[in-house]
Protein backbone atom coordinates (compact mmCIF):
# COMPACT_ATOMS: atom_id res chain seq x y z
CA UNK A 1 0.00 0.00 0.00
CA UNK A 2 1.50 3.29 -1.07
CA UNK A 3 -0.86 6.06 -0.01
CA UNK A 4 1.02 9.33 -0.07
CA UNK A 5 0.73 12.07 2.53
CA UNK A 6 -0.80 14.31 -0.16
CA UNK A 7 -3.44 11.68 -0.97
CA UNK A 8 -4.33 11.32 2.73
CA UNK A 9 -4.80 15.06 3.02
CA UNK A 10 -6.91 15.17 -0.15
CA UNK A 11 -9.15 12.32 1.04
CA UNK A 12 -9.66 13.90 4.47
CA UNK A 13 -10.44 17.27 2.91
CA UNK A 14 -12.86 15.78 0.36
CA UNK A 15 -14.67 13.91 3.17
CA UNK A 16 -14.59 16.97 5.44
CA UNK A 17 -13.15 14.68 8.16
CA UNK A 18 -16.30 12.53 8.19
CA UNK A 19 -16.68 8.79 7.79
CA UNK A 20 -18.07 8.38 4.30
CA UNK A 21 -20.03 5.29 5.35
CA UNK A 22 -21.70 6.10 8.70
CA UNK A 23 -21.16 9.90 8.69
CA UNK A 24 -19.41 9.97 12.05
CA UNK A 25 -17.21 13.06 12.54
CA UNK A 26 -13.49 12.52 13.13
CA UNK A 27 -13.74 15.01 16.00
CA UNK A 28 -15.86 12.49 17.94
CA UNK A 29 -13.22 9.77 17.90
CA UNK A 30 -9.98 9.33 19.78
CA UNK A 31 -8.78 7.01 17.02
CA UNK A 32 -7.79 8.48 13.65
CA UNK A 33 -9.99 7.61 10.70
CA UNK A 34 -8.54 5.39 7.99
CA UNK A 35 -8.04 6.10 4.32
CA UNK A 36 -9.86 3.08 2.91
CA UNK A 37 -9.52 1.49 -0.50
CA UNK A 38 -13.12 1.35 -1.72
CA UNK A 39 -12.04 -1.48 -4.02
CA UNK A 40 -9.20 -3.20 -2.12
CA UNK A 41 -5.90 -3.98 -3.80
CA UNK A 42 -6.63 -7.72 -3.56
CA UNK A 43 -9.64 -7.10 -5.83
CA UNK A 44 -7.51 -5.13 -8.30
CA UNK A 45 -8.32 -1.74 -6.76
CA UNK A 46 -5.78 0.99 -7.31
CA UNK A 47 -3.75 3.29 -5.07
CA UNK A 48 -5.58 6.16 -6.71
CA UNK A 49 -7.28 9.02 -4.88
CA UNK A 50 -10.53 8.19 -6.71
CA UNK A 51 -10.45 4.74 -5.05
CA UNK A 52 -10.00 6.10 -1.52
CA UNK A 53 -12.54 7.17 1.04
CA UNK A 54 -12.35 8.17 4.70
CA UNK A 55 -13.72 5.57 7.10
CA UNK A 56 -14.01 5.46 10.88
CA UNK A 57 -12.16 2.58 12.48
CA UNK A 58 -15.36 0.54 12.98
CA UNK A 59 -16.63 0.87 9.41
CA UNK A 60 -13.14 0.22 8.05
CA UNK A 61 -12.63 -2.77 10.33
CA UNK A 62 -15.93 -4.42 9.46
CA UNK A 63 -15.56 -3.66 5.75
CA UNK A 64 -12.03 -5.03 5.64
CA UNK A 65 -11.40 -6.23 2.08
CA UNK A 66 -15.09 -6.87 1.32
CA UNK A 67 -16.61 -5.44 -1.84
CA UNK A 68 -20.02 -7.06 -1.43
CA UNK A 69 -22.27 -9.17 0.70
CA UNK A 70 -25.74 -10.63 0.78
CA UNK A 71 -28.68 -8.21 0.76
CA UNK A 72 -30.66 -9.12 3.89
CA UNK A 73 -33.96 -8.48 2.09
CA UNK A 74 -33.37 -10.50 -1.09
CA UNK A 75 -30.37 -12.72 -0.15
CA UNK A 76 -28.83 -11.70 -3.48
CA UNK A 77 -25.08 -11.10 -3.63
CA UNK A 78 -24.78 -7.30 -3.79
CA UNK A 79 -21.97 -4.80 -4.15
CA UNK A 80 -21.35 -2.50 -1.18
CA UNK A 81 -22.04 1.23 -1.31
CA UNK A 82 -19.31 3.04 -3.26
CA UNK A 83 -18.77 6.59 -1.94
CA UNK A 84 -17.02 7.77 -5.11
CA UNK A 85 -19.73 6.55 -7.48
CA UNK A 86 -22.91 6.78 -5.41
CA UNK A 87 -24.67 9.37 -3.25
CA UNK A 88 -25.28 8.58 0.44
CA UNK A 89 -28.86 9.89 0.45
CA UNK A 90 -29.79 7.63 -2.48
CA UNK A 91 -28.86 4.53 -0.47
CA UNK A 92 -29.42 5.35 3.21
CA UNK A 93 -31.92 7.08 5.46
CA UNK A 94 -31.17 8.26 8.99
CA UNK A 95 -34.05 7.62 11.39
CA UNK A 96 -34.87 9.91 14.34
CA UNK A 97 -33.40 7.31 16.72
CA UNK A 98 -30.09 7.50 14.72
CA UNK A 99 -30.57 4.10 13.09
CA UNK A 100 -29.16 4.03 9.56
CA UNK A 101 -31.58 2.29 7.19
CA UNK A 102 -30.42 0.94 3.86
CA UNK A 103 -33.05 1.82 1.25
CA UNK A 104 -31.44 0.05 -1.72
CA UNK A 105 -29.77 -3.35 -2.04
CA UNK A 106 -26.34 -1.67 -1.77
CA UNK A 107 -27.47 0.35 1.24
CA UNK A 108 -28.98 -2.64 3.06
CA UNK A 109 -25.93 -4.77 2.35
CA UNK A 110 -23.53 -2.05 3.52
CA UNK A 111 -25.48 -1.47 6.75
CA UNK A 112 -25.35 -5.21 7.44
CA UNK A 113 -21.69 -5.87 6.48
CA UNK A 114 -20.36 -2.77 8.25
CA UNK A 115 -22.64 -3.39 11.28
CA UNK A 116 -23.62 0.24 11.24
CA UNK A 117 -26.39 -0.23 13.79
CA UNK A 118 -24.61 -2.25 16.45
CA UNK A 119 -25.43 -1.11 19.98
CA UNK A 120 -22.19 0.81 20.50
CA UNK A 121 -22.50 2.65 17.18
CA UNK A 122 -26.11 3.60 17.85
CA UNK A 123 -25.34 4.86 21.34
CA UNK A 124 -22.41 6.91 20.05
CA UNK A 125 -24.53 8.50 17.30
CA UNK A 126 -27.36 9.26 19.75
CA UNK A 127 -24.96 10.97 22.16
CA UNK A 128 -23.43 13.02 19.34
CA UNK A 129 -26.87 13.96 17.98
CA UNK A 130 -27.81 15.32 21.41
CA UNK A 131 -24.71 17.51 21.20
CA UNK A 132 -25.69 18.52 17.65
CA UNK A 133 -22.48 16.88 16.33
CA UNK A 134 -24.05 14.14 14.20
CA UNK A 135 -24.39 13.51 11.34
CA UNK A 136 -21.56 15.14 9.47
CA UNK A 137 -22.74 17.16 6.55
CA UNK A 138 -20.78 15.99 3.55
CA UNK A 139 -20.68 17.24 0.03
CA UNK A 140 -21.35 14.18 -2.15
Phi, psi for residue 51 in degrees, rounded to 5: -105, 10
Number of structural domains the chain divides into: 1
Residue 34: inside a domain:
yes
Q: What local confidence, expressed as pLDDT, does residue 130 receive?
A: 96
SS3 call for 67: coil
Residue 69: inside a domain:
yes
Residue 139: inside a domain:
no
pTM equals 0.94
Residue 39 domain boundaries: 5-130
Per-residue model confidence as pLDDT tens for the chain (140 residues): 578 999 999 999 999 999 999 999 999 999 999 999 999 999 999 999 999 999 999 999 999 999 999 999 999 999 999 999 999 999 999 999 999 999 999 999 999 999 999 999 999 999 999 999 999 976 54
CA distance 115 to 25: 17
Amino acid sequence: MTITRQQRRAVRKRADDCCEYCRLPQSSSTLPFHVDHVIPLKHDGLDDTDNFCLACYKCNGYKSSDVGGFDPATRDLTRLYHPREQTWEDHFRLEADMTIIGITPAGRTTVRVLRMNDDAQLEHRRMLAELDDYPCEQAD
